[in-house]
Amino acid sequence: MTTVSTRVTTSGGIAVDVVIVRADGIVTATADAVSSELTRSYDELFLREEARYLEAVATHGLCMAGEPPLSGAEKYLAEVEVRPVESMGASEAAGVRYTGGGGTEWKVVWTFLSAPTPAQFAVTTLRTRTTIQLP
């Protein structure tokens, strides 16, 4: 098993630890925001906006309530991308991105299945691009 990591910062100032693990022909990349006063403030804002949205749904119906709010994680982690530098050919779409939970989770996971497994990955945000080399 091979593990490498780096830290990037989103445009909103959120520090994000990116860990890439290669084991048994599978590469898993995880982006975890570092818990901070900033992430907690985005969580509190999301929970207030979510309560207002749910109240609007209950009062006016789903069609009239508008769009549900984005969590801070959805807004700021959406700009973090992990992709193989080398083309994976027909398996290029093998990168599967998972997000989910109740709105206050600050984690994104990508899984890449390919033979051979990619050795270089680009980690990008709106401001930066870092290349990670797996040994």
Q: Tokens for 13? A: 């100032």
Binning pLDDT at 50, 70 and 90, where does residue 90 land? very low
Domain ranges of the chain: 2-34+75-133
CB-based contacts of 61: which residues, under 8 Å, 6+ apart?
A: none
Instruction: Give the C-alpha separation, 17 to 29, whole Å.
Output: 10
At which residue do the structure tokens 């860990």 appear? Answer: 19
Instruction: Give the C-alpha separation, 44 to 46, whole Å.
Output: 5
Binning pLDDT at 50, 70 and 90, where does residue 65 land? very high
34, 47, 52, 62 from 65: Cα distances, Å = 32, 16, 9, 5
The fold of the 2-34+75-133 domain, in CATH, is: Immunoglobulin-like (2.60.40)
Please report the pLDDT score of residue 107 as a whole number. 87
Q: Tokens for 88? A: 């994976």
- pTM > 0.85: no
Instruction: Give the C-alpha separation, 36 to 71, whole Å.
Output: 15
CB-based contacts of 35: which residues, under 8 Å, 6+ apart?
A: 106
Instruction: Reply yes or no on whether the pLDDT at 93 is more than 50.
Output: no
Binning pLDDT at 50, 70 and 90, where does residue 111 land? confident
Pairing type for strands 96-98 and 107-113 reads antiparallel
Instruction: Reply yes or no on whether the pLDDT at 102 is more than 90.
Output: no
